[in-house]
Amino acid sequence: MRKKVDERIRNLIENGVRKRQRSMFIIVGDKSRDQIVNLNYMLSKSRVKSRPSVLWCYRDKLEISSHKKKRAKQIKKLMQRGLMDPEKADPFSLFLETSDITYCLYRDSERVLGNTFGMCILQDFEALTPNLLARTIETVEGGGLIILLLRSLSSLTSLYTMVMDVHERFRTESHTQAAARFNERFLLSIASCKACLVMDDELNILPITLMKHIEPVTSNEDSEGLSEQERRLKDLKDQFREDFPVGPLIGKCCTMDQGNAVINFLDSILDKSLRNTVALLAARGRGKSAALGLAIAGAIAAGYSNIFVTAPSPENLKTLFDFVCKGITALEYKEHLHYDVVKSADPELKKATIQINVYKQHRQTVQYLKPHDHGKLSQVELLVIDEAAAIPLPIVKSMLGPYIVFLSSTVNGYEGTGRSLSLKLLQQLESQSQPSAQSNGSNSSRLFKKVELNESIRYSSGDPIETWLNDLLCLDLANSIPNISRLPHPKECDLYYVNRDTLFSYHKESEIFLQDAILKFALDSSH
């Protein structure tokens, strides 16, 4: 039976596509997966480009196999048992057959980092953790959908008492029950999210959302179908199109911010004074590692021979090395003819790239160095430190020397570790560079520059899902860091007992206190 769908559903999807922002749907009911087909159809109709790719995440069991041959056998058995009419095409089966779906166990979710999907489906709510939520949602592009599937509930408030998998690790003999405060906080936050609708498995909107009406918006694209940010990026690429090596490298950038960052890096590389330090700060998903990779490609084109890259683990450098290869390929270097990629033989590192040898002009090397092996740095021309804040501060300081240093750090987001870096190291580097302007052109001091990326690679600025997730998980604290001149004496401090139920209640006043408390914990960990 055909049924008219609530206009708010269609308007939310179409508005997200026009504004390049993500939307979220929570579907409650035992047949919730059947509505994925309808939402996918509405999204496909709203998009100009091809059908969206799908990421399907689950705990340990799919109702239908992710393997095509096994799935065909399952469908055949259902037909034999009379549970499926062979004369009628099952829409869900067609969706599985025709869509580009990546299936992923929650425990393997790290492998989807860096990938981009048009739709993300999260089932098995009880297996979700804040880390999993942030990690999977971050992969969805602007205009895409996040769909959360919930089993039938007597009421949404029964989520408050749902036993989560993660509670198992908190149970002890004296404490056999774990309070599901995050569940309640999650549900209360949904009501304030401006791009989320909660529905049953017949697409009837449940009265939890504050959005009584969703008005359609007009596209902000110009006659060529470009947004303002895309137009500015295109103008930047056109401006440097004939410049080598800048033009081809800027052509690989996805945002204006990323393009400007690459230009700043290349300015330091082409200057060749070997006393520049450039710090790149951004939230997750802004393209920091890609910008560093393109900068290294520029250094190779400029003739730099000894380039070292360090990070907590070579696995963290996958994107960086990928973009080194993309950059030098754009500069007309060919693999096996002009350069070779060396993978790690250590099985624990899963064949991570650890070195790139280039021999087009002369022998040039880009190689990974463990942070604790900084004593082995010799004849360095360029040192790149990715996720510098995840490396102990004394080690980062000891790495600085008479060569160009590029460093990056994630200042917020679920992997944000950059508060210590921004509070200590960057302040010191900035203060050390200030006298250089007054020292009559002395070459003894280093030149310091800080570059920030604000534009997301995958979606446009002001994305409501990003705002909601940052508020829910207390992630966006980088802009709230106060300028602390001294730590108070213990006698000047007061000790308070805080009710945890009130603290995580998502009330407006308690949220201010919670965000402030999390910020203080972050600051304390950096001292």
CATH number, domain containing residue 333:
3.40.50.300
Give a yes or no: residue 422 inside a domain.
Answer: yes
Give a yes or no: residue 150 inside a domain.
Answer: yes
Q: Based on the fold, state whether residues 402 and 379 are members of the same structural domain.
A: yes
Q: Based on the fold, state whether residues 58 and 192 are members of the same structural domain.
A: yes
Give a yes or no: residue 169 inside a domain.
Answer: yes
402: DSSP letter: S
Give a yes or no: residue 205 inside a domain.
Answer: no
- 234-256, pLDDT tens digit by residue? 999 999 988 888 999 999 999 99
Q: Based on the fold, state whether residues 23 and 142 are members of the same structural domain.
A: yes
Domain boundary among 158, 184, 200: 200
Q: Based on the fold, state whether residues 351 and 495 are members of the same structural domain.
A: no
- According to the model, what pLDDT value does residue 363 have? 93
Domain boundary among 419, 453, 487: 453
Give a yes or no: residue 113 inside a domain.
Answer: yes
- According to the model, what pLDDT value does residue 473 have? 86
Q: List the domain range (segments joined by +) for residue 46.
A: 7-200
- According to the model, what pLDDT value does residue 355 have? 92
- According to the model, what pLDDT value does residue 105 have? 92
Q: Based on the fold, state whether residues 100 and 195 are members of the same structural domain.
A: yes
- According to the model, what pLDDT value does residue 436 have? 45
Question: Contact, 295 vs 269, CB < 8 A?
Answer: yes
pLDDT < 70 regions, the chain = 1, 63-72, 74-76, 78-79, 83-89, 153-163, 165-178, 220-225, 412-424, 433-444, 477-485, 522-527
Give a yes or no: residue 344 inside a domain.
Answer: yes
Q: Based on the fold, state whether residues 381 and 496 are members of the same structural domain.
A: no
Entry pTM: 0.80
Give a yes or no: residue 408 inside a domain.
Answer: yes
- According to the model, what pLDDT value does residue 527 have? 47
Q: What CA–CA distance (Å, rounded) separates 123 from 151?
A: 9
CATH code, domain carrying 86: 3.40.50.11040
Q: Based on the fold, state whether residues 330 and 417 are members of the same structural domain.
A: yes
Q: Which helix (H) or strand (E) holds 448?
A: strand 447-453
- According to the model, what pLDDT value does residue 69 have? 62
Q: Based on the fold, state whether residues 73 and 123 are members of the same structural domain.
A: yes
Number of domains the chain is built from:
3
Angle between helices 68-80 and 91-98 (to 10 degrees): 170
Q: Based on the fold, state whether residues 151 and 242 are members of the same structural domain.
A: no
Domain boundary among 164, 182, 200: 200
Non-local (6+) Cβ contacts of 362 within 8 A are: 303, 305
Classify residue 274 by burial, with Cβ atoms within 10 Å: 0-12, 13-18, 19+: middle
- According to the model, what pLDDT value does residue 39 have? 93
- 271-296, pLDDT tens digit by residue? 878 888 999 988 888 999 999 999 99
Q: Based on the fold, state whether residues 449 and 468 are members of the same structural domain.
A: no
Of 424, 388, 385, the residue nearest 409 (C-alpha): 388
Q: What CA–CA distance (Å, rounded) separates 146 from 198?
A: 12
Q: Based on the fold, state whether residues 362 and 493 are members of the same structural domain.
A: no
DSSP collapsed to 3 states, 194-232: CCEEEEECCCCECCCCCCCCCCCCCCCCCCCCCCHHHHH
Give a yes or no: residue 154 inside a domain.
Answer: yes
- According to the model, what pLDDT value does residue 439 have? 47
Q: Based on the fold, state whether residues 244 and 301 are members of the same structural domain.
A: yes
Q: Which two tokens stand for residue 236?
A: 């930047």
